[in-house]
Amino acid sequence: MVSPPELIDDAAAEIFVHLPPDEPAHLIRASLVCRQWRRIITDGAFLRRYRASHGVPPLLGFVCNLAARVDTITSPRFFPTAGPSIVPMPAFLGSSKALDCGHGRVLLGPFDDDTMARLVVLDPITGDHQIPRGYYTAAVFCAARGCAHLNCRGGPYRVVVAGAASSAGGAMRAHLYSSEAAAWVASARLIPCPHVRRKPAAVVGDDVYFQLMFADDMILRYDMGRNRLSTFHPPADAKEGGIVLLSMADGSLGLAGVRGSRLCLWSTDASPEGIAGWVRCKSIELMEKIPFMPYSEARVVGCAEGLGVVFVETEVGLFTIDLKSGRERKVSEPGNHFVVFPITSFYTPGMVAADIA
């Protein structure tokens, strides 16, 4: 028979597992009530059950490169979205700017385009960081095959860096870094090619996608399996309010952008032979979501991987739009949010010690 204390523990664990992960303060406060509750909440088996029960890691906030004045250098700043933030986010490096966020990691890079400048891969919750070497703009993502990305922050990762230097004769180069090898393991080249935009990349299977700067905007595709670069065009009507690239739930490449007063979503399939035609698969009327919004100024500046949430900046503030429900949420006052990098991760009491188990 199960003893009364064990029954109480089981009942408490059943309650705790239903606490919302996008409000980590609830679980943290519960862990401070007594030692028994803290033991339950920090137990490795409970944390694995908690993450599996809630599925996709929640949005804890986003990182944005902001400038105090027009003539000042930008610096990364963290904006919490999970209520009053008690997550101990460390101060970001003052001499760096955010380049990407992926699978619980933040990628920081230099202000200049020095080809040998250092990149930093940072766990924003624990403060742990590693330093590969690279340049231009980049993407960071989990390297574990078949990973559901519920708790992979401490696992192997990859960084893909893409850029064009004047010393390379205008050629675009992509470099692949592996944390397992602790080295840059592959490099590809494409001539001619314009510069990349420092905007979020999208990782779909073995492909990494970046936006390019050009009179006629294009998308850069880096095929990691074949170590090959190629380019293709976004939808012809998707450039009015800026775009972001994202990975769709069905494994295709997605693109979100503002057209008129509507937030539109396109998708396409990629094959070794190239990119199929774009199909508009969703449209959301923003004027119904954000009253008095001067829609001509609306632009998409980021997306939260796996959550189906995009960030739209307007003159009345920064909003998240849920692509499934169409629900909006204001997450920041008006500001120069040229691009935002969402941080999605489970955060639980004693997570560092428990995750080792």
- Cβ–Cβ under 8 Å, residues 188 and 194: no
Q: Please, how many CA atoms are within 13 Å of residue 75, restricted to the half-sphere of its CB?
A: 8
User: Model confidence over 16-33: pLDDT tens digits?
Assistant: 888 888 888 888 888 888
Task: Report the pLDDT value the prediction gives residue 274, as an integer from 0 to 100.
Answer: 80
Task: Report the pLDDT value the prediction gives residue 183, as an integer from 0 to 100.
Answer: 82
User: Model confidence over 224-273: pLDDT tens digits?
Assistant: 999 999 999 888 877 666 789 999 988 899 999 888 888 999 999 888 77
Q: Domain 56-344 - what CATH class? A: mainly beta
* 188, pLDDT greater than 80: yes
* 344, pLDDT greater than 70: yes
Q: Please, how many CA atoms are within 13 Å of residue 31, restricted to the half-sphere of its CB?
A: 20
> Does pTM surpass 0.85?
no
Mean pLDDT of the region 299-326 = 88
Confidence of residue 314 (pLDDT cuts 50, 70, 90): confident
The per-residue b/e assignment along 229-255, b for 16 or more CB within 10 angstroms, e otherwise, is bbbeebbeebeebbbbbbbbeeebbbb
Residue 178 CA to residue 184 CA, distance in Å, equals 6
Give long-range contacts, CB 8 A cutoff, 24+ apart: 47-51.
47/151, 47/346, 47/348, 47/351, 47/354, 47/355, 48/151, 49/13, 49/17, 50/16, 50/17, 50/21, 50/346, 50/348, 51/150, 51/151, 51/346
**How many C-beta neighbours within 10 Å does residue 10 have?**
11
Mean pLDDT of the region 96-106 = 78
List the domain boundaries for the chain.
Answer: 9-51, 56-344
